[in-house]
Structures are given as structure tokens and as C-alpha cells.
Amino acid sequence: MTHPAVHQAAVVAKPDPKWGESVCAIVALRPDESVSEEALIAHCRQQIAAYKRPRSIIFIDAMPLLANGKINSVALREQYIGRADTA
């Protein structure tokens, strides 16, 4: 995600009653920045193919990281989506 307010972003699958799963973006903003969920989704509409676009966005203060500095996607799913399975 290349929005100027976004510091880090990751996407995870979120349970969806209609489609089974939908794309959910988890976003950490840059300090002293703000942006609405609607504005980020609109930004994604201009940048990303429809099937890749997030249907929802969760804002967090900081991404959980692994020892190697990569985003811990398992921790994101456990904390914010409520499931820990991996695909």
C-alpha cells in the first residue's frame, strides 16, 4: 500500500459469510498521520485489482515482528482476526 499516511501494511484472510474469506488489510500509520478506512479503500481501488482489494481495514499502532524483522502474519491473524491457521 503506497498511501503517504501508511507506515506498514499487511493483508490477511478474514472469514466472510458470503465468499468464505475476504481480504482484510491491517495498517500501522506513520506518526501524526490519520486517514479513514473509506479513504484507504478508495485509494486501493485506484491501485489494486478488484480481487486483491481489502474489504475492510484494521488500524493498529505497530506491527508484530519476527526476530528477522518481518511482519508476523500468524500473530496478526491470532490478534485481529481470531484464528491462527496458516494456508
Please, are residues 59 and 71 in contact by the beta-carbon 8 Å criterion?
no
CA distances from 64 to 20, 44, 51, 67, 71 (A): 26, 23, 26, 10, 6
Mean per-residue pLDDT over the chain, rounded: 90
pLDDT at 84: 43
Q: pLDDT of 6-28, one tens digit each?
A: 999 999 999 889 989 999 999 99
Q: Do the strands 20-29 and 56-60 form a parallel or antiparallel pair, or are they unpaired?
A: parallel
Taken in order of first residue, the domains within the chain and their CATH numbers are 6-81 (3.30.300.30)
- Measured distance CA(72)–CA(10) in Å, rounded: 9
